Structure 1
Amino acid sequence: MSRAVAVVTGAGSGIGAAIAARLATDFDLVLTHRHDDTDLAAVVEAARRQGAHTDTVTGDLTLPDTQDALRAAMENHASRMAALVSNAGAYPRIPWGQMDLNTFRGQLELNLVTHAAAIGAATPALVSKSYGRIVAISSVMTQIGRVDLAGYIAAKNGLEGLVRAVARELGPHNITVNTVRPGSIEVLAEHAVVPDHHDMVKRQLDRQCIKRRGQPSDIAAAVAFLVSPDAGFITGQAINVDGGWHLS
């Protein structure tokens, strides 16, 4: 019997790759990644080992051609579309005093408009079936704030507002729309961008109730629940997966 299809954007590494791996046990997948590279190939191969048929869309989701390719992929699988996990984004650190408006607009495009494009592309197929699960990846930074991330945080707050609005509109079609807010999640890239990594880890654990680093698999577990039939009465919500950081 054919599996339902889940779409995961930004699936080539980190949190997106973990989400793809988790969902591959139950869904066929459409995966997006900025580059057609060895990272994406590894994610695809791992998903196929779990029995998932996998299609890919490569390219920058801020560009209309890539957005069109993603929409076409969803249309090709419209009869089996069941879930979208809108994860793609980035958080370059730019001090507010160095932020010009063009850079700020670029942050909104990357971390808000791309989510709107993905959700908009998924909507017709899900509405036609009167069933669907949409999960967008936000950030605990929407509640905490942090220096050098003004554009990113503004975009993620906009994303959470978008999710609440779309949850209202799509609820009558039996479609849930939620966000997951990751806390400090350990990924390989942080070792390259954080010069005092050891001290950073200690400071972060001091902030959290749970005294370990968050892992991409922690986010994937929350997403897997939200796209499951068991989450059918949860919508318009933002769920923190942050080890209790926001409580500090």
Structure 2
Amino acid sequence: MPGPLKGHTALVTGATGGLGSAIARRLAADGGTVALAYLDNDQAAAELATHITDSGGTTIPLAANLRDVESVRALCHQAHERLGPIDILISNAGAYPRRPWTETTPTHWGEALATNLTSHYLLAHELTHTMTAAGWGRIITIGSVLATAGRHNLAGYISAKAGLEGLTRALARELGPVGITANCVAPGSIRVPAEDTVVDDPEAMTARQLARQCVQRRGRPEDVVAAVAFLATEDAGFIAGQTLRVDGGWILG
């Protein structure tokens, strides 16, 4: 497919989620070859892959546990063998464990960091060798405005997302000289189907959220996708180490 990403191959993690699937579809529509990394939803992965191929794109679904070193290595090896060198990493996968601080055990804490921070390190560390050899690469991590705003019952998640912004800045410093940019996209309140499983009163939640924002509508996956798609292109080659908040003006500082 023609487009600004023609000739590039991306790995999108968390590809069966509402945001990950939207990112994968957009990168494929922009001409990129896309590896779809997911944990265990085989049906959703197959349906997404079919949608992309039916639209003229090239993709493969690959199951992986991103918290496991060997699983990450196997994922990256398979993607490379079947699609060619990965030069765009969209590090999107994560989890949103809600738990009061007083009930957060060391085990809960470790799990939150493993899922929402260490997994991003493992992926970047595995893929940057190839990007370095090519002299070109894009690492785009998906953070959260909660890293700045804070919220109750999410200490592990928020700490991990704050760490992810730091990791992204460190990668930008270290890898920029060899042609790799690293940036973070931090969504605000984005309306995705998974929200229905964690929100008791969607209308009240929406009203509270709009009161925080400048833009008076809920965010959509497409809002985040547009930022990710731009940062993946050659046009974004002079942007490095930044956190782009896609939040309707929730966090202005």
TM bin (shorter chain)? over 0.9
Deviations 1:139-164 (A, max 9, x none): 00011000011000101111111111
Alignment of 1:1-248 (within 5 A): 3-25=7-29, 26-76=31-81, 80-247=85-252
Deviations 1:38-91 (A, max 9, x none): 211221112112322112221321123421222213442685432110000011
Query: Could you tell me which amino acid in structure 2 is paired with residue 216 of structure 1?
Result: P
> How many percent of aligned residue pairs carry the same amino acid?
45
1:194 counterpart SS class: coil
- TM-score w.r.t. the length of structure 2 is 0.93
- TM-score w.r.t. the length of structure 1 is 0.95
Query: Could you tell me which amino acid in structure 1 is paired with residue 215 of structure 2?
Result: I
Shift of 1:35: 1.2
1:117 counterpart SS class: helix
Q: Is the deviation greater in 38-47 or in 18-27?
A: 38-47
Distance 1:243 1:49 in 2: 33
1:89 counterpart SS class: coil
* Aligned pairs, number: 248
Q: Aligned in 2, Cα 1:59/1:82: closer, same or farther, shift over 3 Å? A: closer
Contact 2:64 2:75 in 1 (8 A): no
Shift of 1:137: 0.2
Distance 1:111 1:30 in 2: 20
Q: Runs of 5+ in structure 2 lacking a partner?
A: none
Shift of 1:125: 1.1
Contact 1:134 1:177 in 2 (8 A): yes
Distance 1:240 1:208 in 2: 12
